[in-house]
Amino acid sequence: MTKLMDRVRKYLHSPKGQQTVEKAKRMARDPRHQARARNWLSKLRRH
């Protein structure tokens, strides 16, 4: 398990990982994506 976390940490500090993080942040600020996430979470909580 630690090897996996080390690989994830290494990826997140790489240039490609930083691009992925920035893309995720942009998507998280989008109201449409926020609504989809809230909808998905509410469905998950109902079951």
What pLDDT does residue 47 have? 76
Q: What radius of gyration, in Å, describes the C-alpha atoms of the chain?
A: 15
Whether 25 contacts 19, CB under 8 Å:
no
The residue segments making up the domain with residue 10 are: 2-46
Q: Which two tokens stand for residue 23?
A: 């893309």
Cβ density class 7-30: b for 16+ within 10 Å, e for less:
eeeeeeeeeeeeeeeeeeeeeeee
**pLDDT tens by residue, 1-47:** 789 999 999 999 999 999 999 999 999 999 999 999 999 999 999 97
| Structural domains in the chain (count) | 1
